[in-house]
Structure formats: structure tokens, C-alpha cells
A = this chain, B = another copy of it.
Amino acid sequence: MKKEKKRTSISSIGEFGLIERLQKKIIQNNPQTIQGIGDDSAVIKSPKDQEILISTDVLFEGIHFDTTYMSLSHIGYKSVIVNLSDLYAMNAMPSQITISLGISSKYCVEDIESLYEGINRAAKNYKVNVVGGDISGSYAGLVINVTVVGFQKKNQILYRNGAKKGDLIVVSGDLGSSFLGLKILQREKEVLTEHKIPKLAINEIEHKLGEYKYLIQRQVKPEAKREVINYLKEKNIKPTSMIDVSDGLCSDLNHISKASGLGYNIMESKIPIHQQTKNASLDFNIDPIAAALYGGEDYELLFTIPPQQKKLINQADGLSIIGKLTDFKYKQTITKLQGGVVSINSQGWDHFKNT
């Protein structure tokens, strides 16, 4: 017989009681933290000769995540990763995070502990400290706001606006896989809704959909690309601009192009697409290139390098040169597989836009 999980109501222990319970699980992963949770603010040691970087992202239940097919632990993990990714995209090392939660009455203490289990796991894997936060009731399911703080020397920080004409465009990993993972999970949800099964267990999905395991993992448990930052440092590669691919390749490349006052041309044949993405694209009758261009949530790093550094990129596993920066008058174009250059639509993910 399956044991009923304990469900402690949050109102029975209150906001301070919940904070106390969560605080016990927080571990120190970063020696720069002077004061973590437990005072009016956190205190962080200011490192010599490095500037401070700060970024924030908010995730809403029903918009950014769906608890039908994502465990709370995965949601916690992912909410940290998307923020760390923003700091790596500046070539900086994340160091501390704060977590604000809005929690609706359907959640119990054990649920929030599961969420924090994922948060703490990501914090441990990426050596950042959870140093503060806020907890409130919410009328709209779960709301998670993560703010990340990190550091880098001033001359090592990479912005979006440093790309030069002729620079090569490089992307890490592969694109479009997270989008196809989402499509698969949404299809599974529909099937289960039909059969009135309330929730999917991630291991059941993975068992059933083993052939698409990679795609599902990319969606529910993405990783931030610290190893790319480390590789660039190790090989002394100096990108001229960088961004992370969160809204889709086109949208994010457009940010670099716009900020740097340039156009770009990318080659369809060079865009890295995983075999599972190609297979699943067939199932959904989606062009895998479109998934890569507009899909989003890849959390790969997209950067530009001077053409002289081409060789160093070609030597690396998991880095692809996909095009180059051009004069602005050429605007954004893609060289099709079958030949021919066409203008591309730079519309990525936008929470408000009617498209």
C-alpha cells in the first residue's frame, strides 16, 4: 500500500515557521557570503577588482511552468538555472541568489520543501548561496522570483553591444530541443486530461517516452552553460559580445545585432539540432529549423568572436559557428539549406504579444 504523503498546512506554522523550516536546509556553497537568510538583508563580501552583476527573473505558474508535468523540485531547479544563465551570458560567475515566493493555498509545507530541494540542488551544483528572500500568500498559484548576484573583472564582462562587422556567430550545444520537450509534455497532458489522470510523474514520462528523454530533460531540468565560460577562459578566447538563448535564437541574436548596430547572416546547415529534436519534429509536423530559431528556453550561450579565433572554436566540442555579423543594411538573413538567402523574422517568445 502506498503511504499517504504528509501534508502540513502553511497556515499552521505561519510565514516565519515556514522560513525557519526552509532555512535549516540551506547550505553554504560560497565563502563570500557574510550574512545569509535571517536579517533585514544579506551581506556579501565585495571581492577586490571585480564589479557586481545582478539579474532577476520571475516565473508564474500557468505561464512559465505547469505542475501537471513538472515536479516542484524541477521547477525550483529550473528557476535558479534561468537566472544563472543570465550571469554566464555576461561572462560572470554567479555567487548568491535570493528567492521570493508567492504561494497559493493549494500548496503545503512539504510542497515548498520539494521546491526548495530543487533550488538547493541547483545552488549546490553551481556553487551559489541562497542568501535571502521573501514569502507571501498568492491568489495565483505559485510565483517564483529569483535574483542572482555575481562578479567579474570590468574588462572581462561581455555585453550585447560589442560585436564587430565580420565577427563569427557561435552557439553552444543544440537548439530547439527544449521546445520539442515542451510539445511532448503538453501532448501527454492532453492525453491524461482525457483519461482524467491528474498528474504525471516525471519518471513515468521518461519511461514511456524514453526515445525523447533528452528533449524532456532539456525542458524540465535545463542546465546553465558554465563549462562554456570556463572553456573560453581556458583557451583565452575573447568574445566580443554574448547573450543566452532564452527567447529563441532569432530573438536573442537580434538583441546582439540591434545593440551592436549590425546585421547578420546565419546558415541553416550550421544550426546545431539534436537527432531527437529532428525525430520529434516529424511527429509534430514542425520544421526543426523553426524550433531552433523561435523555440526558446535553450539556455545555450550565443556569442561573437573575431574571425582569427575560428580555429579555437572548431577545436571545441559543443560549439558551432553558425554565421557572421554583417553591415546593418543587410539586416537579418538566413542562407537556406537548398541555397538562397532569405530575410528572417526575429520574433521570439513574448508573453504579451498577440501573434
- Residues of A with Cβ closer than 8 Å to B? 10-16, 18, 34-35, 38-47, 50-60, 62-64, 86-87, 89-90, 92, 96, 98, 100-103, 131-141, 143, 145, 147-151, 154, 157, 159-161, 242-244, 259, 350-354
Contact = CB atoms under 8 A, between A and B. Distances in A.
Contacts of A134: 56-58, 145
Given A132-B55, A140-B139, A102 B60 contact: yes
A354 B160 CA distance: 49
B51 A45 contact: yes
B96 A41 contact: no
B39 A352 contact: no
A42 B46 contact: no
Given A56-B132, A60-B139, A102-B140, 13 more contacts: A11-B352, A40-B160, A41-B92, A41-B148, A56-B145, A58-B102, A58-B143, A60-B143, A63-B137, A63-B139, A134-B145, A140-B141, A143-B143
Contact of A44 (B41, B43, B51): B51
B140 A40 contact: no
Contact of A46 (B47, B90, B140, B354): B47
Contact of A98 (B56, B102, B143, B154): B56
A34 B52 CA distance: 10
A138 B244 contact: no
Contact of A15 (B10, B12, B45, B351): B351
A136 B63 contact: yes
A326 B351 CA distance: 55
Given A102-B58, A351-B15, A351-B136, A42 B47 contact: no
A351 B64 CA distance: 25
Contacts of A244: 40
Nearest to A14: B353
A139 B351 CA distance: 12
8 contacts: A39-B90, A40-B243, A42-B53, A44-B54, A52-B149, A54-B98, A63-B136, A138-B143
A350 B60 contact: no
Max count, chain B CB within 10 A of own CB: residue among A64, A132, A143: A143
Contacts of A12: 354
A157 B43 contact: yes
Contact of A10 (B55, B57, B100, B352): B352
A40 B86 contact: yes
B58 A145 contact: yes
